Amino acid sequence: MVLVINQVITGLMLGIMYALIASGFSLLFGVLNVVQFAHADVCFLGAFVSMAVMTFLSKIEFFPTWLVIFLTVVSAVLITGLIGSIVEKICVKPFRKSPGLIILLSTVALGFIIREGIKIFYPSGASPKLFPLSFPQWAFSMGGVTVRFSNIMIIIIAGIIYFLLSIFINKTKIGLQIRATSQNVEAAQVLGIDLDKIFMITFFLASTIGAVAGILNGIYYNIVKFDMGLMGGIIGFSAAVMGGLGNVYGAIIGGLILGIVESFTMAFVPGGSPYKEIFAFIVVVLFLLFKPSGILGKKVIEKV
Amino acid sequence: MSNLNNGSNDYSQTLYKKISYFLTIIVTEVIIFYMFINFLSSKGIDYRLFLLILPIIAFFILRGNQKITNLVKESYSRCNSFSVIFMILLLVFIPFLFKDNSYLLHICIMSGLYLIIALGLNIQLGSTGMVNFAFAAFFGVGAYASALLTINFNFSFWLGILAAIIISAVFGLLIGSLTLKSTGFYYALVTMAFQIIFHLLVNNLRFTGGSGGISNIPFPTIGKYSFSSSLNILGINLPFQANYYYLVLAVVLFSLYLAKRLYNSRTGLIWNAIREDEIAAKCQGININKGKLEASAIGAIFGGMAGPIYAHYISFISPESFTFHFSVVLICIVILGGLDNILGVIIGAVLLTVIPEKIRFFAEARMLFYGIIIILVLIFKPQGLIPERIRKYNFFKF
């Protein structure tokens, strides 16, 4: 039982990262009806941006440490958001009129460009990097169940992000416009909503959430690699599909399920740790076979 | 039409026309072949690259000239079989030109293999509109099947290739039947999942050799003649790659023939109908599930043909050859050349295998280069280098 609870905690941590990435996928799909496959690459680019900013700021030796960390996180998140909106300009805007699969292809290609770009142009980008930030190490243990400070912090941060996101989507005027666009693009346009602006804001929003996921991932696992975006992208995409593409809350559930499946595979299947993704993908394929619309997704009836 | 009643004049005119067609074909194909050879044998940036530019400039100048473009078009459509035979003759000649440089021959072999696989992907991505990200897995299934069968069960290469084709067809059917319900993004996602699953399984299972792969895969033999010995034709010693070159050339021609027949068949038409609109196709009485399964299985067969040749030629395979990256490279080939267009796939495969080998920077940043190509092609030339042609039917020709 203790082992199960510990594994659930490990799975939750993994699941929260997946959920944050998957929410971005779902947000973008909801508004644009396309899959931005390079989203996870943008997210992990956030981790690399924060590393670059951190080295830059600590070279100046002007700010106190706490301010350096604060500035690093804020500027990395904002820069990644900007990169997200640039991605929209390059890879999505030219294809707005073409079938959605074209955007999938162009963003898959963009993912390769980002990954290889990091590998080639970041200083010694091909090797795994130690992430400079970390949470305090203390932990408490209760009847064998170990809870670390980082676990609590990640849950709190994710909670805050989802709280802010839901306020932004449900209470603000731009959130209303985003919801309107995701319901019906033509009607939104008729009502005078500036689509370009909405798309840009949605990309910015999704990328900032993703950047937080990338940075949290770096902090929690202490290591960043240039090619993490590929697997992260496929798993984030899967989690979004499992929850129902277009539904942000579904994406959370999907991400948590995948995270827990992976951690349980590592713990309870003998020699299972290399196969953890396989089990996750088998769950995804089964979902697509038996419930293609996802957990919270609406059933799409194809009309002629 | 004054020459209707003038038989001999008519005859000489057709003869004259025929000769002009033949000459145009010979001249254009020799120019293309010469460019290709020059480009292959150039080292870095040298004068041979500048020779390449001349025909390209000539092409752009002459493209405006209606008379010449018409002549070229007409000669290729009238004397189609002659143009094919002449090109084959030129291709057969390649090992003699490269007999001192087996590396160039190696590039030719690899582009042939890429072409075979890309033809299979073209059936799914181009004809049926299924964005398959698992094509490297089809190729890998063929390669692993043949390698394991020849090593563990003493199959000969020829039996191995047959078994590999059957196994990859079954694999294709399996993936096809699991994805029948899912379309669009969902299909893409499932194929990505299969690609990753295949790579992880091959990388971790013991009987596939793990990440170390399988080495010492035996060379193919015909009777007592081994493919690892140098080929001797008319007293000219060719490097051992020439054996594989001719094998690949034969398989390429066979697959081109197969792809062409499939494109012109009713099945090809059904695939296009599914791509354009599934519901409309269903309303026409087309069995969509059958069409999709056929596309998956037949596409996989092409991968299964190329896999064993690759495995036995390199004589070493590892999971790193069958990654997601390779699937994206194949998609890049098909998109660059032009969807559902066999000539386009040929050009895409040759360009994308030869250019990264020739230009050093591209070899290091290969995937970056492929990514940029995909985006640029999608933005500026979404139809590919050679756009899909409207199907032609000779209704009045019996």
* Of the residues B66, B92, B118, the one at which a domain ends: B92
| B131 chain-A contacts, CB cut-off 8 A | 101, 104-105
Axis crossing angle, helix B288-314 with helix B135-153, rounded to the nearest 10: 50
Whole-prediction pTM value?
0.87
User: Using one digit for the tens of pLDDT, what is the confidence trace for B191-204?
Assistant: 888 898 888 888 88
Domain boundaries, chain A: 2-290
* Average pLDDT over chain B, rounded to an integer: 82
Residue % of chain B over a pLDDT of 90:
13
Q: Is the pLDDT of residue B74 over 60?
A: yes
Q: Pick from B48, B123, B103, B40: which is nearest to B293 by CA?
A: B123
Q: Tally the C-alpha atoms within 13 A of residue A45's C-alpha that lie toward its C-beta.
A: 26
| B331 chain-A contacts, CB cut-off 8 A | 105, 108
Q: Is the pLDDT of residue B62 over 90?
A: no
Closest residue in chain A to residue B380, using alpha carbons only = A94
User: Nearest-5° angle of CA B97, CA B98, CA B99?
Assistant: 100
Tokens of A101: 């699969």
Residue B243 belongs to a domain with what CATH number? 1.10.3470
User: Which residues constitute the domain of residue B277?
Assistant: 94-380
Tally of domains in chain B: 2
Residues B40 and B146 reside in one and the same domain: no
Tokens of B289: 């599930």
CA distances from B362 to A116, A131, B42, B367 (A): 12, 30, 16, 8
User: Are residues A159 and A171 in contact, defined by beta-carbon separation less than 8 angstroms?
Assistant: no
At B6 the pLDDT is 54
* B249-255 contacts at long range (C-beta below 8 A, 24 or more positions apart): B249/B88, B249/B91, B249/B92, B249/B112, B251/B112, B251/B116, B251/B305, B251/B306, B251/B309, B252/B112, B252/B115, B252/B116, B253/B88, B255/B115, B255/B116, B255/B119, B255/B120, B255/B302, B255/B305
Residues B60 and B155 reside in one and the same domain: no
At B44 the pLDDT is 60
Q: Which of residues 249-268 of A touch B (CB under 8 A)?
A: none
| B192 chain-A contacts, CB cut-off 8 A | 234, 237
**Does the interface predicted TM-score (ipTM) exceed 0.90?**
no
Residues B311 and B341 reside in one and the same domain: yes
Distance from C-alpha of A200 to C-alpha of A198, rounded to nearest angstrom: 5
Residue that has been written with the tokens 């390079």 in this structure:
A38
Evaluate whether residue B385 is within a structural domain: no
Residues B188 and B266 reside in one and the same domain: yes
Residue that has been written with the tokens 């709280």 in this structure:
A163
User: Are residues A204 and A36 in contact, defined by beta-carbon separation less than 8 angstroms?
Assistant: no
Residues B98 and B87 reside in one and the same domain: no
CATH number corresponding to A2-290: 1.10.3470
Interface contact flag, B335 A105, Cβ < 8 Å: yes
At B87 the pLDDT is 85
* Of the residues B40, B67, B92, the one at which a domain ends: B92
**Low-confidence residues in chain A, pLDDT < 70:** 299-304
At B165 the pLDDT is 92
Evaluate whether residue B350 is within a structural domain: yes
Q: Which of A119-123, B13-17, B236-240, B292-296 shows the lowest per-residue confidence on average (mean pLDDT)?
A: B236-240
Tokens of B82: 């002659």
Interface contact flag, B189 A106, Cβ < 8 Å: no
Is A230 in CB contact (< 8 Å) with chain B? yes
Mapped onto helix, strand or coil, the DSSP state of residue B103 is helix
At A301 the pLDDT is 65
Residues B170 and B217 reside in one and the same domain: yes
Neighbouring residues of B167: CB distance < 8 A, sequence distance ≥ 6: B141, B142, B145, B304
Residue that has been written with the tokens 């081109």 in this structure:
B256
Is B180 in CB contact (< 8 Å) with chain A? no
Q: Is the pLDDT of residue B279 over 80?
A: yes
